[in-house]
C-alpha cells in the first residue's frame, strides 16, 4: 500500500498483499494474497471469510482464475492437475504478471471489480456489507446504522466487495435503473470439500469447454480482463468465466489516509449488469416447480438441508437438478480418475425476503459417491428414508393438533360440541414444538443411514424406522407431560396418544 505526493494515491495489490483468510494444516490462521493462496493451496486446510457469503465468493473468484489458467478441457487434463498435487506456481506467476494492474483495489483508472457512476453521490459502506444493518435490514446482525457509518481496512473491503458483486439483492437504487439480484443472491452455493484447499478447488474445477459448464463464446474471460465489462448493457454471460465474475454492481471504493493507514468509509454504488433469467448456476441445486419451472433450492429457517438430500443427488431427473460438481465427480469416478468413497460438501448462502436478508447459513453434508451412480439408491433414499420420515412427521403433527383440540374443548368429540378455532389449535400445537424436537434428533441417525443404506438396505431401513418411531414418541411425550399436569386435560393427552399410535401403525410397517 502506498501514499504518494500531497494527494493520496492508495494502492492495494490483491495478488501479493494478504487479504484472504486461510487456515494452515496445523490450524494456524493466516491471510494470503491471491498468488500465495493458490500457490500454497496444497498446504492449506481451508479458506473463508466473515460470513458464508464471503466464503462462497472467495472460492468463486479463485475458481475463475484457475479456469482461466488451467481449463481443464477434459478428464485427462483434470487428472494431470490432480496428480500434480499443487497448482503450477510458474503458470500462476505468468498470469498475474500479465494482469497485475487489474488486481489493484485502488487503481486510478481500473480498480479491481469496480466502476464509477457519476449519477450517484458518496454513501457509507453499510449497504456493501450484508452483515451490517442498512436501510430496511434494521440491526438484524449488527448495531451499525446508515447514520453511524462503517470503517473497513483494505483487506476487509476487498472481501466484502467480492461478496457484494455475487450476493447483491434486487431493490430500488434512487436511479431509473433498479438493483437486480447478483448471481448468488437466491439459492445455495455448494462446494465439494477435499483435505486441502488445493483439493477443494480442484474438485470444483469443472470441465471448461465450449459447452460446459455454460455455453461459451470465444471472448469469454473474467471481468478484469475486459476492456469494459459493462459494454453493451448485456444480460447474457459470454461463458462461465464471465458468469463467475459478473459485475452486478457499479461500486467504487473511496480510500482515505489516516494515522493508522488507509481506510475506506465511503463508496459510490449504482446498478451494474442485470443477469438474464433462466441461466442455471452450476454450483446450485434446483427443483422443478410445475408452475414456475426450475427453481433453486433455498435455505429454510425451519428445515435442515439434509431433508433435501435426495434432491442433491438427482443427476438425471426432470424434477431435480444437482450441483454440476456432483455430476462431474460421478463422471470422474465412473472413468476411474477418482476412487469411490464419501466426500464432504459445504453449503453456503442466505435466506432473504425481497431486499431484506433474514439469515445466513453454512451447512456440511456428506456425499457418498455411490449415490451419484445409482438412481435406484437415490429413489430409496427419497422414498424409504426421507419420505417415511416426512410421513411420520405429519402423523406427529396431527396427534399434537388433536391434543390441542381437546385442551381447548374437552368435549370436542361429542355431538354438536363447540370446536375450537383452527388457528388456536395450530398455535398451541406449534408452541409445543413437537416437529422441531423430532427433526432435530434425526440428523445424526440420518447421516448414519446415508452411509449404511448402500451396504445393507434392509437392515438400514429397519433401524431407521425404529428410530423414527422412537423419536416421534419422545417428541410427543415431551409435549404431553406439560398437558398432563392439568387433570382436566388428561383426555387431550390420551386422545393425542391414541391418534399417534394409529398414525404410526399406518405409515410404518409392523416391527418385531
Q: How far apart are alpha carbons 195 and 502 in whole angstroms?
A: 48
Determine the Cα–Cα distance for residues 50 and 145; give it in Å rounded to an integer.
Answer: 19
Least confident piece of the model among 41-50, 315-324, 415-424: 415-424
As beta bridge partners, residue 270 has 250
- 99, 241 contact by CB (below 8 A): no
Which of 151-155, 411-415, 450-454 has the lowest average pLDDT?
A: 411-415
Q: Rounded distance, CA 76 to CA 86, Å?
A: 16
Q: Are the CB atoms for 493 and 481 separated by under 8 Å?
A: no
Mean pLDDT of 204-208: 97
Nearest to 349 by CA among 358, 341, 337: 358
Is the pLDDT at 302 greater than 90, yes or no? no
Residue 353: predicted pLDDT:
75
CB 54 within 8 Å of CB 164: no
Using only C-alpha atoms, what is the Rg of the chain? 26
> 193: part of which helix (H) or strand (E)?
strand 188-193
Q: What percent of the chain has pLDDT over 90?
A: 74
User: Mean pLDDT: which of 148-157, 337-346, 459-468 is highest?
Assistant: 459-468
pTM tops 0.85, yes or no: yes
Three-class secondary structure of residue 157 per DSSP: helix
Compute φ and ψ for 47, nearest 5 degrees. -135, 155
Instruction: Give pLDDT, residue 511.
Output: 58
- Give kind and range of the element (H or E) at residue 343: strand 342-353
Spatial contact of 311 and 16, defined as CB atoms under 8 Å apart = no
Tell me the pLDDT band of 191, cut-offs 50, 70 and 90. Answer: very high
The CA distance from 257 to 445, in Å, is 55
Q: Is 130 exposed, middle or buried (0-12, 13-18, 19+ CB in 10 A)?
A: buried
* Tens-place pLDDT, residues 350-372: 988 766 788 889 999 999 999 99
Within 8 A by CB and 6+ apart from 486, the residues are none
Mean pLDDT value across the chain = 90
**Which residues fall within 8 angstroms of residue 403, CB to CB, at 6 or more apart?**
429, 479, 480, 483, 492, 493, 495, 496
pLDDT value, residue 420 = 77
pLDDT tens string 40-60: 999 999 999 989 999 999 999
Instruction: Give me the residues paired with residue 320 across strands.
Output: 287
Q: What is the pLDDT of residues 241-268, one digit of tens each?
A: 999 999 999 999 999 999 989 999 999 9
Q: What pLDDT, on a 0 to 100 scale, did the predictor assign at position 490?
A: 86
- For residue 347, which of 53, 47, 49 has the smallest C-alpha distance? 53
List, in order of start, the domains of the chain with CATH numbers.
Answer: 286-352+366-373 (no CATH), 377-507 (1.10.132.100)
Mean pLDDT over residues 456-485, rounded? Answer: 94
Asked if the model's pLDDT at residue 410 lies above 90, the reply is no
* Statement: residue 270 has pLDDT above 70: yes
Q: DSSP per residue over 42-70, as a string?
A: GGEEEE--SSHHHHHHHHHHHHHHHHHHH
Residue 140 pLDDT: 43
Per-residue pLDDT, averaged over 362-390, amounts to 94
**Quick one: which of 361, 359, 360, 350 has its CA closest to 181?**
350
Query: Which sign does the torsion angle of CA 208, 214, 215, 220 carry?
Result: negative
Beta bridge partners of 353: 356
d(C-alpha 17, C-alpha 34), whole Å: 8
Coil, helix or strand at residue 510:
coil
More confident residue, 167 or 4: 167
Mean pLDDT within 121-135:
74
Q: What angle do CA 405, 408, 409 make, to 5 degrees?
A: 80
Amino acid at each position: 500500500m502506498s501514499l504518494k505526493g500531497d494527494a493520496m494515491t492508495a494502492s492495494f495489490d490483491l495478488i501479493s498483499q494478504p487479504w484472504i483468510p486461510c487456515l494452515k494444516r496445523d490450524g494456524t490462521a493466516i491471510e494470503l494474497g491471491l498468488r500465495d493462496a493458490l500457490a500454497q493451496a496444497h498446504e492449506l486446510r481451508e479458506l473463508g471469510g466473515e460470513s458464508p457469503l464471503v466464503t462462497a465468493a472467495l472460492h468463486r473468484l479463485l475458481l475463475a482464475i484457475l479456469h482461466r489458467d488451467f481449463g481443464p478441457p477434459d478428464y485427462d487434463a483434470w487428472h494431470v492437475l490432480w496428480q500434480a498435487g499443487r497448482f503450477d506456481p510458474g503458470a500462476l506467476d505468468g498470469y498475474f504478471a500479465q494482469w497485475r494492474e487489474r488486481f489493484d483495489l485502488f487503481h486510478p483508472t481500473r480498480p479491481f471489480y469496480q466502476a464509477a457512476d457519476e449519477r450517484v453521490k458518496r454513501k457509507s459502506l453499510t449497504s456493501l456489507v450484508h452483515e451490517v444493518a442498512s436501510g430496511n435490514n434494521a440491526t438484524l446482525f449488527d448495531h451499525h446504522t446508515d447514520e453511524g457509518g462503517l470503517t473497513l481496512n483494505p483487506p476487509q473491503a476487498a472481501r466484502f466487495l467480492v461478496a457484494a458483486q455475487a450476493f447483491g439483492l434486487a431493490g430500488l437504487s434512487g436511479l431509473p435503473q433498479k438493483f437486480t439480484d447478483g448471481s448468488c443472491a437466491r439459492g445455495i452455493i455448494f462446494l465439494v470439500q477435499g483435505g486441502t484447499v488445493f483439493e477443494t478447488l480442484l474438485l470444483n474445477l469443472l470441465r471448461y469447454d465450449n459447452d460446459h459448464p455454460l455455453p461459451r463464446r470465444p471472448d469469454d474471460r473474467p471481468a478484469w480482463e475486459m476492456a469494459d465489462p459493462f459494454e453493451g448493457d448485456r444480460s447474457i454471460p459470454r461463458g462461465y468465466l464471465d458468469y463467475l465474475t459478473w459485475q452486478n454492481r457499479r461500486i467504487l471504493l473511496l480510500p482515505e489516509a489516516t494515522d493508522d493507514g488507509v481506510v475506506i468509509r465511503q463508496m459510490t454504488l449504482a446498478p451494474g449488469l442485470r443477469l438474464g433469467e433462466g441461466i442455471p448456476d452450476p454450483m446450485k441445486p434446483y427443483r422443478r416447480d410445475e408452475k414456475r419451472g426450475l427453481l433453486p433450492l433455498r435455505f429454510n429457517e425451519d428445515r435442515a438441508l439434509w431433508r433435501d438430500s435426495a434432491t442433491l443427488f438427482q443427476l438425471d431427473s426432470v424434477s431435480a437438478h444437482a450441483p454440476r460438481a456432483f455430476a462431474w465427480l460421478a463422471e470422474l469416478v465412473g472413468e476411474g480418475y477418482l476412487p469411490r468413497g464419501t466426500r464432504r460438501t459445504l453449503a453456503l448462502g442466505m435466506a432473504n425476503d425481497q431486499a431484506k436478508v433474514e439469515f445466513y447459513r453454512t451447512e456440511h453434508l456428506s456425499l457418498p459417491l455411490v449415490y451419484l451412480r445409482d438412481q435406484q439408491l437415490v429413489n430409496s433414499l427419497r422414498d424409504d428414508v426421507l419420505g417415511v420420515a416426512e410421513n411420520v412427521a405429519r402423523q406427529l403433527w396431527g396427534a399434537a393438533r388433536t391434543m390441542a383440540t381437546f385442551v381447548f374443548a374437552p368435549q370436542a368429540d361429542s355431538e354438536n360440541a363447540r370446536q375450537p378455532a383452527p388457528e388456536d389449535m395450530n398455535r398451541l400445537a406449534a408452541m409445543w414444538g413437537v416437529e422441531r424436537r423430532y427433526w432435530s434428533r434425526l440428523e445424526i441417525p440420518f447421516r448414519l443411514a446415508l452411509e449404511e443404506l448402500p451396504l445393507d438396505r434392509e437392515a438400514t431401513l429397519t433401524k431407521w424406522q425404529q428410530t423414527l418411531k422412537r423419536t416421534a414418541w419422545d417428541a410427543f411425550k415431551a409435549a404431553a407431560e406439560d398437558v398432563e399436569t392439568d387433570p382436566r386435560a388428561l383426555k387431550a393427552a390420551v386422545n393425542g396418544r391414541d391418534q399417534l399410535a394409529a398414525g404410526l401403525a399406518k405409515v410404518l410397517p409392523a416391527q418385531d
